[in-house]
Amino acid sequence: MDLKKVKSKNPGWNFTQKISKKASKSVLDSATQSNLDIDSYHNKYVTQVKKKKAVTDSADDQPKLDDKAWKMLIKTSSAQNLTDFTEDPKTGFYDAEGNEVASQG
Amino acid sequence: MNEPKPSPPAERRDSLGRFDNLVFVTCTAKLRENIGRTETEEMIAWLRAIPHTRFVDLPVPKDAAEAAGEFRKSLSNDTRGVVIIGGYDVLPALQLNVLSEKMLNDIENDEASQGEEWDRDDFIVWSDDIYGDREGDLLPEFPVSRIPDGKSATLVMNALKAPSYSIAHKYGLRNIKRPFAEEVFKAVPFKADNLLEVSENCSPKTMNAKSMKGAIYFMLHGHANDATRFTGELGSRDGYYEAFDIFNVPEICQGSVVFTGCCYGALVALPKADRMEAGLKIRARTADQSIALAFLEAGVSGFVGCTAAHYSSRIKGQNFFGIPMHNSFWENIAEGMAPAEALFQAKMEYSVKMPHGLTKEIYKAVEVKMLHQFTCLGIGW
């Protein structure tokens, strides 16, 4: 995924990178770390969910998205300043063509 | 041609009373500091008078794990749900790092996940689910809701006495760049009025607060440091647009349930979870500082939202990140579930269907974060 394509498809925005990509040690020390993986969630609730609702589509049955080609970027406030007020930077997800497919909010 | 209207919610499928087998829990020693001694005693007397419920008063805890460990002894097979009374400074929420070592390793070993940005909240969220977790595995067996006190006995009592929601009306407000919300809104149950407004076509100055009752749905941007406004985006240009202001919350909003797909929409205290460290004090918000708490003070029976950044698709017809939670929640409301129950069921369904077609390990982690950060405020029943 080319940042130039993202910029050309999203002309009013600036993009940046988060300086620190991990929580600080003091925050990590204070937080409780999960010991779960994706299967733990499925295994815990699958029987209960199927009992209540006729769920036939498990995670494996769902169509796979083309997310390997996506990129997560941080979009800062509008370069054109077309805002009522200053906004926080927001995370966006961009496909191979530079289109925003998903984002914060 | 008019679209067929969704069916009204089914009647409750069991014979239990509204509050039967609920466990109310607080720490009165801390709650008194926030809402007053006399007011706390009056609240306890009111709670004790509700038949077929339990009231648990915990000692001042060191942290959420200690409080939940002690509280676990009060849960039984017939428990139907848990209602926490008080903010994070009364009974702490769990500061949960959702990335297990295994998930972190999976991200580091996934070629496609390399060079990606990182989550805005470092995958650390506030969660109340530990109070419904009898098995001690961080996954709850019971629905949990919380009435943050907002330093106000009036807020607490209004929230406790909130009548059940009615589905006579529905109201929604969405970001113009989130067209999927149209589909979600169609599934929101209603019998009469329905209005989905679009920001930037409406603003805090033009919206009709009288329409805001029954089933209420927001799909907008929220902000960690300012919980008094939600924003949309500009349709034809790039930029943000103010959509909803705390002054738009009706003074009385009884008989309503609110669902928000907004970042930090249910963050009722600061710091946000990824900024919390030993020695920092929790600063609880009030009803003047938080849209969520303003709705509770106005008497809604449930306010569902996120404690951290929410992610959703910009494209109609997609079903990953936050969207499956929106759909499941309203489907469960349509079946007649209470807000806390509807969110709990939605979370179980989300768990079973994760990762909703996503293949990158880091995006799977985003879904795990989505799951943990949704929370139910208000009595929830």
Most confident stretch, A7-11, B28-32, B240-244 = B28-32
Q: pLDDT confidence of A77, banded at 50, 70, 90?
A: low
Please judge whether B100 and A36 are an interchain contact, meaning their C-beta atoms are less than 8 angstroms apart. Answer: yes
Q: State which amino acid sits at residue B177.
A: K
Share of chain B above pLDDT 90, in %: 83
Give residue-wise pLDDT tens across range B16-30: 689 999 999 999 999
- Positive or negative CA dihedral for B169, B288, B280, B70? negative
- What is the per-residue pLDDT across A32-58, written as a single tens digit (0 to 9) for each? 999 999 999 999 999 999 988 766 555
Average pLDDT over residues B255-271: 98
Separation in Å, CA B341 to CA A87, B179, B217: 34, 27, 17
Cβ-based neighbours of A74, under 8 Å, separated by 6 or more: A15, A16, A17, A18, A89, A90, A91, A92, B117, B120
Of A21, A64, A102, the CB nearest to B314: A102
Enter the ipTM: 0.92
The answer for residues whose C-beta is within 8 angstroms of residue A47's C-beta and 6 or more apart is none
| Cβ pair B159, B297 in contact under 8 A | yes
pLDDT at B11: 40
Which amino acid is it at B302?
G
* Interface probe with B: pick from A19, A30, A90, most Cβ of B within 10 Å: A30
* A22 part of contact set with chain B, CB < 8 Å: yes
| pLDDT at A82 exceeding the cut of 90 | no
Looking at A1-105, list the stretches that DSSP marks H as alpha helix, in order from N- to C-terminal side. Answer: 3-9, 25-30, 38-52
Interface test with B, best of A7, A36, A58 (most B CBs within 10 A): A36
Cα gap B364→B358, rounded to integer Å: 6
